[in-house]
Amino acid sequence: MPELPEVETIKETLKQFVINKTISDVAVYWPTIIKRPEDAEQFKSLLPGQSIVDIHRRGKFLLFELDDAILVSHLRMEGKYSVHPSREPVTKHTHVIFSFSNGEELRYNDVRKFGTMHLFKKGDELTNKPLNQLGPDPFDETFTTDYLYKKLKKTERVIKSVLLDQSIVAGLGNIYVDETLFKANIHPLRKANKLKKKEAAAIWEAAIVTLREAITQGGTTIRSYVNSQGDMGMFQQELFVYGQENEPCKTCGKPIVKMKIGGRGTHVCVSCQKMK
């Protein structure tokens, strides 16, 4: 479940292994991961000879900047990247391999095969799906309390669903939305357009603080997340509500309740997070 802090951590750990490496060959064992170009054979043919110039992050997407292209990669639930010598055996969940001219390989591993890859000519990625659907990153200067408050005003949806909407703000997923709303003392079922400006400001602040702290902890490891060096995140120790069903609230001691909102498991302290 890599969300923004996990993808940020993956980006930083992966950088040291792949920048300036030149792709010599590409193998695709599960073509449905490749979304653009539609034909995986064409995808493969476009990459050899290109070097990895840099890696960026946009929301939950990893962006591999190549000499003349951008590879946009989404890890969905369980996608992972790792670098190995080519002689090392692959696992049954390795679906894409980028071979480098130095004998190493960047491997994409994904137990669920839900991840996606889109390849663009440089510049085209911003005006096409999936990146053109995204709202600002939480740390972008355009993501302000005013921006958030105006967006919340416009919708009848509950706040939980709005914060999961990547076109509002890009990078929050189920873990960090639940944690953000707990920190802001807002019940996830509150209607977005009924929230006061002060409450929007509290959500903004809570999101920024939670994400920043999670990044410094290297992300959250719930099921299987590790960074590209194989290290677990540590933020799970800081979780107040996510995955804490029936555990006592760290603030008030009442048991954390799990409910379904918009089809998503949602964790809430009904004592601390008021419906008002």
Closest CA to 56 of 104, 15, 114: 15
Is residue 130 close enough to count as binding DNA by CB under 7 A?
yes
Given the residues 15, 35, 113, 264, select the one marked as catalytic.
264
Three-state DSSP state, 153: helix
Q: How far apart are CA 205 and CA 181, in angstroms?
A: 10
* Size of the residue set binding DNA (CB under 7 A): 32
User: Is residue 217 part of the contact set for DNA (CB under 7 A)?
Assistant: no
C-beta closer to DNA: residue 65 or 165? 165
3-state secondary structure of 146: helix
Q: Which residues of 67-85 are buried (b: 16+ CB within 10 A; e: fewer)?
A: eebbbbbbbebbbbbbbee
Tell me which stretch binds DNA (CB under 7 A): 11-19, 62-70, 73-81, 202-210. 73-81
Nearer to DNA, 19 or 157 (CB): 157
59 scored as a contact of DNA (CB under 7 A): yes
Binding residue for DNA, selected from 77, 90, 234, 270, defined by CB under 7 A: 77
Q: Kindly state whether residue 128 participates in binding DNA, applying the rule CB under 7 A.
A: no
Q: Are 20 and 83 contacting, i.e. CB atoms less than 8 angstroms apart? A: no
Q: Are strands 116-121 and 34-36 parallel, antiparallel or unpaired?
A: parallel
Is 60 catalytic? The answer is yes
Burial label, 236 (beta-carbon count in 10 A; 0-12, 13-18, 19+): middle
Applying CB under 7 A, does 34 fall inside the site for DNA?
no
**Quick one: 105 exposed, middle or buried, by C-beta within 10 A (0-12, 13-18, 19+)?**
buried
- Residue among 1 and 195 whose Cβ is closer to DNA: 1
If binding is defined by CB under 7 A, does position 145 make contact with DNA? no
The region of 44-52, 135-143, 158-166, 228-236 touching DNA under the rule CB under 7 A is 158-166
Helix or strand run (H / E) with residue 42: helix 40-46
Q: Which of 36, 57, 60, 107 is catalytic?
A: 60
104 is catalytic: no
**Positions marked active-site:** 2-3, 60, 264
Q: Per the annotation, where are the binding residues?
A: 93, 112
Which spans of this chain sit near DNA (rule: CB under 7 A)? 1, 3, 30, 32, 59-61, 74, 76-77, 111-114, 129-130, 133, 154-158, 161, 164, 166, 173-175, 262-265
